[in-house]
Structure 1
Amino acid sequence: MTSEKPLKPATVAVHAGRPPHEPDQPLNTPITMASTYVAGGGKEYGRYTNDSWTAFEEALGALEGGRALAFSSGMAAVTALLDLVGQESVVVAARHSYLGTLGVLADLEARGRIKSRLVDVTDTDEVVKAIDEDTALVWFESPTNPAMEVADIPAIVAAARAAGAQVVVDNTFATPVLQNPLALGADIVVHSATKYIAGHSDVLMGAIVVAEPSLYDVLKGRRDLTGAIPGPFEAWLALRGLRTLPLRVERASANAAELARRLAEHPRIEEVRYPGMGGMVSVVVAGGAGPADVLVRATSLWVHATSLGGVESTFERRRRWKAEAPTIPEGLVRLSVGIEDVDDLWADLKGALDGL
């Protein structure tokens, strides 16, 4: 894909990862259902490559400004990265991170593999002080899940650089439409492509995007070795979803901003956490866990579900998960705002809130 000037994300999402514009070429890369290839070329075996992954990786990499690798799930991508951390090296991570990420960190630490330091990512001074010569990796989300906190990415990157550490940013919530961590100095971006990238609650996939070729080669070798690969059909679905990512993010963001405004005025809501971008909103329901649990079961459009980033609106009380951080309020409900009509979403939500 060539152009005299950089293309905008909406254009990249539609055109990247397509077959060449030649007679009789399909507009979409066909699904390649093959585990084995004829020897003598560059493919050899289905654990190493697949045209369906390659198309998805080209499109996501173009959006993030690096080279992408597709994985079987977001957790497969997370684990591949953390497995590369050296013995007893330090990982500085945001205390409010995805539960799966925190779970892997805790498991590795319990087995003596690494040491982790959990920090408040909104306190840049605290993060910087936690990064020292023993730090191999600095890992955070922005916004964080589910606290919706925003990190000062350039400042944290600068501190990591000074210590010789690499920086991983989980960009699942913001997506490359709203934020490009590699352009802000991060070394690695990780995605649960299950969420906004695929966008239709029908795919489990993950992805890593890097700017440094040597790091790409290391991670590609790791994926080849462990086999944490997506299926061809999953990759095809994820690419199909990615084509409309900018449109979906635009609509979900507009809906989220309006709902955040209305929720802030409702007497049953103690706090609204919205970073001013994206489709994710967290609210703290007055009265704690009891009313929050009633709320998530009292709607007809909003679906009580744990995932996010789909076209439909979902929500859940996060402390229902025992591993959720105790610093997350009992009454916090995380909302993944979809692309429905905002007035319909509000009527359903307000009716449930009024009944508490």
Structure 2
Amino acid sequence: MSNLTELIHSIPVDPQTGAIAVPIYQTSTFVQEAPGVNKGYDYARSNNPTREAAEKIIAKLEKGAVAAAFSSGLAAIDAVIKLLKSGDEIVAVDDIYGGAFRLFHKVYEKFGIKVTYVDTTDVQAVFQAITPATRLIWLETPTNPTLKISDIAAISEIAKANHCLLCVDNTFASPVLQQPITLGADLVVHSATKYLGGHSDIIAGIVVAKTQQLGEEIKFYQNATGAILSPFDSFLLIRGIETLPLRIRQHNANAIAIAQYLSEHPAVDKVFYPGLISHPGHELAKRQSKGFGGIISFTLKDDSIEAATAFVTSTKYFKLAESLGGVKSLLCHPATMTHKSIPAEKRWAAGVSDSLIRLSVGLEEVEDLIADLDHTFQSIQNVERKERVEVA
């Protein structure tokens, strides 16, 4: 059985009615036969059939024991950090999503949880950053937004040897391309807003646990703090997952062509895409993933916020917006958008320069997307020539 066939048929038919689509159980509570005697559901914060169906599908996709669906990706990350206590430490990837950095720095550091940021592409650097208080290693691979690739299997060995949990943010790759639990990770998180949902119409987060015990701990915090995914959003998430492999295939194909185009453009300084042979993580990405994803970042030779702003406000098909992973192509300027909360010095050190632009390559015809980028480059160059003439 192919992965696509298995995925489609892992989505259950409703046993009561035969509905081919998972029903939306839009209810807050469930009638009990007697106190504490029910059909597996008592209150929708604790459990809901639609959300439960989504969680089981994603746990199976990620080869995990338990999945928990949250109201956002940050709520999912928050649940993982709640596994820690005051005095514990985290070793985290330096090129980290700005929202995760804000949560770590502005929320959890004041509760006594210390975070050390390292270049996790250097396995030795990860090892050296660990202290007796380290309880969690936090990876993104590929990272957001410079698409660094870290060796999940090697870092999992370090985590196990030092009695740490390893959590991998798998948002950029999706379980279609990469399954960190099979490589040794204990936990996987997703901003399901992105590729899992795939249509830019929900906000959702997922935590998948390798073991039943760890999954039950996450489910405890899901219920105790209440940041659950609603029944309707759970339904939309399931609907998005039905086409996930097909969408990822097209995202990949489009992104490879665009990355090649950008790598040859005279106005571009660097292209960050693991599908390019020139990418330092290319061989590792080939080993631990089944593809390279739909996200590309690049810097301009004019390394200024002004140049990047001119570019991201001039495209036609690439829409300027936060987020990624949807059907429509998006672009953003991390320095002033997604990573604005990170101090400039840390951002620069991680490789997020002032002119870095992130593309979320959608499902449009790739020729149209390349034409859009080409026209944008030409338009900016024409403006620059005009300005130079006026100054002269």
With structure 1 as the length reference, what TM-score do the two structures score? 0.95
1:323 equivalent in structure 2: 341
> Is 1:302 equivalent to 2:324 in the alignment?
no
- What's the CA shift for 1:68? 1.1
1: CA distance between counterparts of 2:112 and 2:374? 48
Deviates more, 1:68-77 or 1:284-293: 284-293
Q: Match of 1:200?
A: 199
Q: Following TM superposition, by how much is the alpha carbon of 1:19 offset from its aligned partner in structure 2, in angstroms?
A: 2.2
C-alpha distance after superposition, 1:68-98 (max 9, x if no partner):
1111110110011112212111100001111
Alignment of 1:253-272 (within 5 A): 253-272=252-271
User: Is residue 86–residue 136 contact of structure 1 (8 Å, CA) maintained in 2?
Assistant: no
Query: What is residue 387 of structure 2 aligned with on the other side?
Result: none
In the alignment, the residues of structure 1 paired with residue 149 and residue 29 of structure 2 have an alpha-carbon distance, to the nearest angstrom, of 45
Are positions 1:32 and 2:25 aligned together? Answer: yes
Match of 2:386 in 1: none
2: CA distance between counterparts of 1:337 and 1:28?
Answer: 29
2-side partners of 1:119 and 1:233: how far apart? 39
State the Cα distance separating 1:343 from its structure 2 match.
Answer: 0.1
Name the stretch that deviates more: 49-58 or 189-198: 49-58
Q: Alpha-carbon deviations, 1:33-81, whole Å to 9, x = none? A: 1101012212111111111101111111111001211111101100111
Work out the CA distance in 2 between the residues paired with 1:11 and 1:125.
41
Residue correspondence of structure 1 range 243-258 to structure 2 within 5 A: 243-258=242-257
Q: In structure 2, how many angstroms separate the alpha carbons of the residues matched to 1:293 and 1:15?
A: 45
- In the TM superposition, what are the counterparts of 1:42-121 in structure 2 within 5 Å? 42-66=40-64, 67-121=66-120
Q: What is the root-mean-square deviation in Å for CA atoms of aligned residues? A: 1.3
**Range moving further from structure 2, 112-121 or 276-285:** 112-121
Rounded to whole Å, the distance in 1 between the matches of 2:89 and 2:109 is 13
Cα offset, 1:108, TM superposition: 4.0
Residue of structure 1 equivalent to 2:239: 240
Deviations 1:11-37 (A, max 9, x none): 2331223126x7951111110011010
Change over 3 Å in CA distance of 1:314–1:103 after alignment to 2: same
Could you tell me which amino acid in structure 1 is paired with residue 298 of structure 2? V
2:6 to 2, 12, 19: 12
Contact 2:248 2:294 in 1 (8 A): yes
Report the equivalent of 1:150. 149
The answer as to 2:297 corresponding to 1:282 is yes
Deviations, residues 151-196 of structure 1 (Å, cap 9, x unaligned): 0111111011100000000000000000000000000000000000
Give 1:211-250 correspondences, 5 Å limit: 211-250=210-249
SS in 1 for 2:18: coil
Corresponding residue SS for 1:355: helix
Q: Percent identity?
A: 39
Q: Tell me if structure 1 keeps the 8 A contact 2:82–2:221.
A: no
Question: Aligned pair count?
Answer: 349
* C-alpha contact (below 8 Å) 2:99/2:341 kept by paired residues: no
> Quick check: 190-199 or 122-131, which moved more?
122-131
In structure 2, distance between residues paired with 1:109 and 1:305:
28
For residues 88-127 of structure 1, what are the alpha-carbon distances to aligned partners after superposition, in whole Å with 9 as ceiling and x for unaligned?
1110000111111111111245414211110011111111
- The DSSP-based 3-state class of the residue aligned with 1:301 is coil
Larger Rg: 2
TM-score with structure 2 setting the length: 0.87
Deviations 1:190-228 (A, max 9, x none): 000000000000000100001211111111111111111
Q: Are 1:91 and 1:135, in contact at CA under 8 Å, matched by a contact in 2?
A: yes
| Matching residue of 2:390 | none
Task: Tell me the CA shift for residue 132 of structure 1.
Answer: 3.1
Q: What CA distance in whole angstroms lies between the structure 1 residues aligned with 2:96 and 2:249?
A: 24
Unaligned runs of 5+ in 1: 1-6
Counterpart position of 2:289: none
